[in-house]
Amino acid sequence: MRQRLLSRPSPALIVSIIALVVALAGTGYAASSLPRNSVGPGQIERGAVHNSDLASRAVTSSKVRDGSLLVKDFKAGQLPAGPPGPQGPTGTVDTSNFFTKAQSDARFMQASGRFLAGRLITPLSPSGLPVVLDVPGIVKVLVLNCQAGGANVTFQNQAIGTTDLWYNDGANYVGPNWASVNSTFAPTGTQTAHIGQGSGPGATVLTVKATTEATGSDCRFQAYAHLLSGS
């Protein structure tokens, strides 16, 4: 019978075996030879210990230094509410700028307001200039045109030289020396004018709104004015 000859191990294999033996021996030595409590904060890298590295209930009351925890370290509702504090002193109100009831009522009643309204249905091509709304001494709203395809009104100044007009819903200032201003001729339309008369606390201001509609057989006009007068 032929004997099988074992080959001699290579130097690389021998070095690897020696390294493995030294490593295992060193780990066992370290684990079995470290004195109790020899690993402290100085040997642990900051942030290296996580919650998962701690045993359940490993941190107990005896491990926490008294006074080291803050309110933010507790969940909402964990800390009991303290007793209510003492009542503070009664504050004072500065009434130097207050109005008495009589003064307040007088300020409120300085301006008086009223509404005026008018409505008119006319046949096509009416004669003259029918009046839709009359604010005496200030402005009249008159029918200017009534056709099958459209209608419009004219605002007529009753006090030329003393009545200011802002037209197109206040976008255009006409001034006090206007005689009349016409709304747009259209099947339907709305025109708003802001008018002022006088100056100071006794001035009069009003908003006039007129709407027109041509139905094909007649025309419908309506207007209202909100009038405010100072005392």
Supply the pLDDT for residue 30: 53
Per-domain residue ranges of the chain: 111-230
pLDDT 10s digit of each residue in the chain, 231 long?
Answer: 455 555 666 666 666 676 666 555 555 555 555 666 666 666 667 766 777 767 777 677 777 777 777 877 778 878 888 888 898 888 888 877 777 777 666 655 555 788 999 999 999 999 899 999 999 999 999 999 999 999 999 999 999 999 999 988 778 899 999 999 999 999 999 999 999 998 877 788 999 999 999 999 999 999 999 988 865
Query: Residue 63: helix, strand or coil by DSSP?
Result: helix
Q: Is 218 left (phi over 0), alpha (psi -120 to 50) or beta?
A: beta
Rounded to whole angstroms, how far apart are CA atoms 69 and 105? 61
Rounded to whole angstroms, how far apart are CA atoms 1 and 4? 10
Identify the sign of the CA torsion 198, 204, 205, 211. Answer: negative
Supply the pLDDT for residue 37: 65
Q: Which is nearest to 176 in space by CA: 162, 191, 188, 158?
A: 162
User: In the numeric block, which tokens belong to residue 81?
Assistant: 């509410």
Supply the pLDDT for residue 202: 78
Supply the pLDDT for residue 151: 97
Domain over 111-230 is classified CATH 3.30.530: yes
Q: Which is nearest to 181 in space by CA: 166, 161, 171, 197?
A: 166
